[in-house]
C-alpha cells in the first residue's frame, strides 16, 4: 500500500526535539544522583499534597539509561512516521495526549505511594496512532495484517503487552497512552482524507474529556482516604492540630485498598500520638511519606519512595525506624 504523501526526506524536527529532551534529562540526572527523577516522578501522595506539576513532568523522567533508551528509540521511529504523514502539530497532539492519558489512567488506580515515570505512555500513543492510520487506509483488520510493517507492529504490540504484565511496569500507563493514540491516529487520517464525520469528532472529544477528568481526579481525589490524610498532614504542618484531627478522622472512614494508603494513615496516627510527647516526632518526621528530592537523613534509609515511623509500643523500635527507604 503506497502512501504517496510520505516524504522520507522531511526532517522530523519535533520528534527529534522530544528525543533530545528525554535523553538530556536522563543524562543530567545520571550525574546528580537521581535528583530530577525524584523531583519529576508522579506519586499519588505527593500530588495530593499539592505537587501537581508531577502529573506533567512524570512523562519526561526515567528510571535509568535503558529505560530512556527504549522509549527514545520508539519515539524516534514512530514519531518520525506520524510527523512525516501528518506534520509536527498532529504528532505533538498525539504525543502529549497519550502521555497525559497514560499518567492519568495509571494514577487513578495505582498505589498512591508508588512512583510513576517514563515516556512509554507517549510512545504507546504513537504506536497506536500508526496502527490507527493503517486501519483507516485498509478498512479492516484482515487487510491491515496483510501489510508487512503493520504485522511487525502487531508483533511488537504483543511483546509490549507481555512486558507490561511484568512487575514494576505500568500496564495502565501503556493502555492509557495506546487507546488515545489509536483514536487520534484514525482521526487525523480521516481528516486528511476529508472523511471526518460527527462520530470521529465525538470519539476524539471523548478521549480529551476522559483524560482531563482522570487528570483532575488524580490531583483532587476527593473520594479517597489519602486525600483527607494529606490534608491532615498539611494541617498538622501549619500547626492546626484540631483541623488535622478532624481530617484524619475523615480519612479513617474511607477504604484503604492499597498498602501505601494504609501506611500513610498509620504514619499520621503514630505521629499524632507521640507529637508533643517525644521531641523526635517533629514536622520533618511528619513529612517522611513525601518524596524528598534532596534525600533525607533517616535511620536505615537508602533512597526509596517512602519511609514511615514504627510504633515504639509495638516493640519494633525504641524511637524511630525506617520501614522503607526515603528519597
| Average pLDDT score over residue span 139-146 | 87
pLDDT in tens, 193-208: 888 889 999 999 999 9
**308 vs 140, more confident:** 140
Q: Please identify which residue in the block is written with the cell numbers 550525574.
A: 31
Q: Does residue 79 or residue 166 have the better pLDDT?
A: 79
pLDDT at 25: 97
Tell me the pLDDT band of 315, cut-offs 50, 70 and 90.
very low
* pLDDT value of position 85: 93
pLDDT at 308 over 50: no
What is the predicted pLDDT for the residue at 322? 32
3-state secondary structure 266-319: HHHHHHHHHCCCCCCCCHHHHCCCCCCCCCCCCCCCCCCCCCCCCCHHHCCCCC
Given this model, what pLDDT does residue 8 score?
76
Residue 271 to residue 264: CA distance in whole angstroms: 11
Instruction: Write the CB contacts of 227 (distance below 8 Å, at least 6 apart in sequence).
Output: 48, 220, 221, 251
Distance, in Å, from the CA atom of 268 to the CA atom of 234, rounded to the nearest integer, reads: 11
Map out the domains of the chain as residue ranges.
13-219, 225-314
Contacts 24+ apart (CB under 8 A), 285-289: 285/309, 285/320, 286/233, 286/236, 286/237, 287/233, 287/237, 288/326, 289/45, 289/113, 289/233, 289/263, 289/264
**pTM metric for this prediction:** 0.87
Residue 271 predicted with pLDDT over 50: yes
- pLDDT for 3 equals 53
Average pLDDT over residues 213-239: 93
User: pLDDT band for position 105 (50/70/90)?
Assistant: very high
Note the pLDDT of residue 312.
42
Mean pLDDT is highest, among 130-139, 255-264, 310-319, for: 130-139
Q: What is the mean pLDDT of the chain?
A: 86
Look at residue 5 in the predicted model and tell me its pLDDT.
66
According to the model, what pLDDT value does residue 29 have? 94
For the segment 16-72, what is each residue's pLDDT rounded down to a tens digit? Answer: 999 999 999 999 999 988 889 999 999 999 999 999 999 999 999 999 999 999 999
Name residue, grid cell 534532596: 294
Closest residue by Cα to residue 138 from 127, 122, 151, 126: 151
**pLDDT score of 295:** 56
Fold of 13-219: Rhomboid-like fold (1.20.1540)
Q: Mean pLDDT lowest for which of 38-47, 173-182, 219-228, 275-284?
A: 275-284
pLDDT score of 316 more than 50: no
pLDDT for the residue numbered 309: 46
The pLDDT assigned to 4 comes to 52
- Residue 2: its pLDDT value, please? 47
| Mean pLDDT, range 260-267, rounded to an integer | 88
Amino acid at each position: 500500500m503506497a502512501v504517496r504523501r510520505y516524504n522520507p526526506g522531511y526532517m522530523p524536527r519535533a520528534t527529534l526535539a522530544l528525543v533530545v529532551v528525554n535523553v538530556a534529562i536522563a543524562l543530567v540526572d545520571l550525574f546528580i544522583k537521581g535528583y530530577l527523577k525524584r523531583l519529576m516522578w508522579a506519586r499519588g501522595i505527593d500530588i495530593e499534597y499539592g505537587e501537581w506539576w508531577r502529573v506533567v513532568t512524570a512523562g519526561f523522567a526515567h528510571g535509568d539509561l535503558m529505560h530512556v533508551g527504549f522509549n527514545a528509540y520508539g519515539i524516534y521511529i514512530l514519531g518520525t512516521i506520524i510527523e512525516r504523514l501528518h506534520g509536527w502539530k498532529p504528532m505533538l497532539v498525539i504525543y502529549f495526549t497519550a502521555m497525559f492519558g497514560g499518567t492519568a489512567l495509571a494514577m487513578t488506580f495505582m498505589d498512591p505511594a508508588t512512583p510513576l515515570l517514563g515516556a512509554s505512555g507517549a510512545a504507546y500513543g504513537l504506536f497506536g496512532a500508526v496502527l490507527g492510520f493503517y486501519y483507516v487506509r485498509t478498512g479492516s483488520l484482515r487487510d491491515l495484517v496483510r501489510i508487512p510493517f503493520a504485522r511487525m507492529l502487531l508483533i511488537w504490540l504483543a511483546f509490549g503487552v507481555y512486558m507490561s504484565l511484568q512487575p514494576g511496569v505500568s500496564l495502565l500507563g501503556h493502555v492509557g497512552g495506546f487507546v488515545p493514540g489509536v483514536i487520534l491516529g484514525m482521526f487525523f487520517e480521516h481528516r486528511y482524507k476529508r472523511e471526518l464525520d460527527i462520530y470521529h469528532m465525538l470519539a476524539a472529544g471523548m478521549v480529551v474529556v476522559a483524560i482531563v477528568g482522570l487528570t483532575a481526579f488524580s490531583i483532587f481525589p476527593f473520594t479517597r482516604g489519602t486525600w483527607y490524610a494529606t490534608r491532615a498532614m498539611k494541617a498538622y504542618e501549619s500547626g492546626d492540630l484540631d483541623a488535622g484531627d478532624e481530617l484524619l478522622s475523615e480519612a479513617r472512614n474511607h477504604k484503604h485498598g492499597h498498602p501505601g494508603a494504609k501506611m500513610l494513615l498509620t504514619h499520621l496516627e503514630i505521629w499524632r500520638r507521640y507529637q508533643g510527647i517525644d521531641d523526635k516526632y517533629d514536622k520533618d518526621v511528619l513529612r517522611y511519606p513525601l518524596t524528598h528530592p534532596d534525600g533525607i537523613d533517616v535511620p536505615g534509609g537508602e533512597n526509596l519512595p517512602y519511609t514511615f515511623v514504627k510504633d515504639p509500643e509495638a516493640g519494633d523500635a525504641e524511637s524511630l525506624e525506617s520501614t522503607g527507604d526515603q528519597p
